Amino acid sequence: MDMNFYKKNILFQGMSEQDIENTLNCLNAYKRSYHKHEAIYHAGSSTSFVGLIYKGSVIVERNDFWGNRTILTSFSEGDFFGEAYAMNSKAVIPVDIIASEATTVIFIEIGRLVSQSCNVPHVTQQLILNLLKMSLQKNMFLSNRSFLLASHTMREKILGYLNTVSLQNHSKEFEIPFDRQQLADFLNIERTALSKELSKMQKEGIIEYKKNKFKLLSN
Amino acid sequence: MDMNFYKKNILFQGMSEQDIENTLNCLNAYKRSYHKHEAIYHAGSSTSFVGLIYKGSVIVERNDFWGNRTILTSFSEGDFFGEAYAMNSKAVIPVDIIASEATTVIFIEIGRLVSQSCNVPHVTQQLILNLLKMSLQKNMFLSNRSFLLASHTMREKILGYLNTVSLQNHSKEFEIPFDRQQLADFLNIERTALSKELSKMQKEGIIEYKKNKFKLLSN
DNA sequence: AGGAATATGTTGTCTAAACCACAAAATTTG
DNA sequence: CAAATTTTGTGGTTTAGACAACATATTCCT
């Protein structure tokens, strides 16, 4: 067991190694690997397990009747997914969750936290508090995404997105976790229109980019 | 103190009247009234208080540089707002929160929950668990909103929205909490285009409506 | 390495929806 | 209650961006 991995994770903050190990046992944690493009959850299923990405990354997407794909977000090492559904196992997952490269996921049956407290109240409370922090954070992220999608023009969306990533990285130069098609889907615009707008913005001296490495220019 | 109001609320589920009263005292709860269009929070401010709507309703909106307004959502009696910011008082509120009619709000200093436990661990734990449930629920709502905004056509957005409200009300007939301008802002489309599309859909026999009362037709 | 496969970029056409300028209905108020 | 104000609806025009059809660049294999 890679204790270092767990100790770094938000969910286990404020917990001793012994507590972490007990928790993982009590909550039926197990590890599973997926290859690129393999589905982790299909839309329509339910679960009481939260997914914690040990290695690799996943894409959360919705595919509608007519085959339109919308990427909601991507998650990478150390991120969680599915916690809202794990805590309410009657709820149906409305999205597909897909490994975007070779990915290993740790599943933790967080749904048991409330019903069965693993006989260590103090630890249970810490876990719930940590979950709350995560959830509130994700909340802010989702609100932000709404703002992005709500932008009126393609350029506003693109700059809004690049700006967010720039702020997260505390740098005007950064890599984005999407290829063009994925970025287009994330911003809900058409791929070729995105390419068109990006090169226009480069010509205008607003940004510089090559593949998924971007640089914001101020003048 | 209107104990019935509190007992019905999610935040206080599983708590005795005595617990609720103690909690409110410990967390510096107070009540304040606003008139229509008055701002409750301005973008850029911070707080350690969560708002609980006692009477009336509020609109959460963002106003950008160029005066474009985007309505994120509306809240009504019994709903909470600002909890993500109250639990992390360093975070800055990125939206305006406005009373959309005469509104009374109860403010609760939820930020104190972690630092000072009001000396009743069991109650603190219940509160945090309830907060978690609320947050996860809001999470699913926000995800849904993203899907709506991500829809490719106006019609998809409109039907998607009406469908959601219909499901919430368990009925094909329902009222929506927005006037036309607000609905247009919520779906991020132009008001007159919305009117146009709505009447087209009515002519096609897909829906019936009058003002903010809608009916979904199956054939 | 070199061909296949995949990702990115370019140009042009066409349409959904924004935008504008009102008309009509509904609501408020003096 | 009529005038004023606010909300909703209807045409016509314009345009951003979807969509189609490729060109070019990059990466993936054997």
- pLDDT at position A4, please? 92
- Enumerate the residues of chain B whose CB falls inside 8 A of the CB of residue A150: 62, 70, 149, 188
How do residues B104-130 score in pLDDT, each as one tens digit? 999 999 988 877 667 677 888 889 989
Residues of B in contact with A132 (CB under 8 A): 87, 128, 131-132, 135
Coil, strand or helix at A57: strand
Q: Which H/E stretch holds residue B210?
A: strand B207-210
Nearest nt to A210, CA vs C1'?
Answer: C8
Q: Is the pLDDT of residue B79 over 60?
A: yes
User: Which among B124, B129, B149 has CB closest to A146?
Assistant: B149
CB B198 within 8 A of CB B209: yes
Is a pLDDT exceeding 70 seen at residue B42? yes
| Tens digits of residue pLDDT in A53-87 | 998 889 888 765 445 566 777 888 899 999 999 99
pLDDT of residue A68: 56
Choice between A93 and A82, residue whose per-residue pLDDT is larger: A82
Asked whether the beta carbons of residue B149 and residue A152 sit closer than 8 angstroms, the reply is no
In this complex, do B135 and A139 lie within 8 Å of one another by their Cβ atoms? yes
> Mutate which of A47, A62, A136, A152 to disrupt the B interface (most B C-beta within 10 Å)?
A136
> Could A149 and B152 be called an inter-chain contact, meaning their C-beta atoms sit closer than 8 Å?
no
Burial class (CB in 10 A: 0-12, 13-18, 19+), A175: exposed
Q: Which residues touch strand C (CB under 7 A)?
A: A 152, 179-181, 191-192, 195-196, 198-199, 209, 211-212; B 152-155, 188-190, 192-194, 197, 211
Give CA–CA dist A166/B67, Å, rounded: 25
CB pairs under 8 A between A and B: 95
Write out the residues of chain A at the interface with chain B, using a CB-CB cutoff of 8 A: 62, 68, 70, 72, 83-84, 87-88, 91, 94-95, 114, 121, 124-125, 128-129, 131-133, 135-140, 142-147, 149-150, 152, 188
Within 10 angstroms of residue A51's Cβ, the number of other Cβ atoms is: 24
Query: So what's the pLDDT on residue A71?
Result: 73
Find the mean pLDDT for residues A146-155. 87
CA of A100 to C1' of D26 (A): 19
- pLDDT, averaged across chain B: 87
pLDDT at B219 over 90: no
Q: Which pLDDT belongs to residue A148?
A: 86
For B12, B163, B173, B180, B208, the CA distances from B215, given in Å and listed in that order, are 35, 10, 4, 16, 5
Cβ neighbours of B87 in A, within 8 Å: 132-133, 136
Q: How distant is the alpha carbon of residue B9 from its chain centre?
A: 14
Model confidence at A6: pLDDT above 90: yes
Give the type of residue at B198: L
Whether residue A118 has pLDDT greater than 90: no
Contact B132 A133 (CB under 8 A): no
Structure-block tokens of residue A103: 């990915």
CA of A192 to C1' of C10 (A): 9
**Does an H or E element contain A59, and which?**
strand A57-63
| pLDDT for residue A117 is more than 70 | no
Residue B72 pLDDT > 80, yes or no? no
Q: Among B4, B6, B12, B28, which residue's Cα sits nearest to residue B134? A: B12
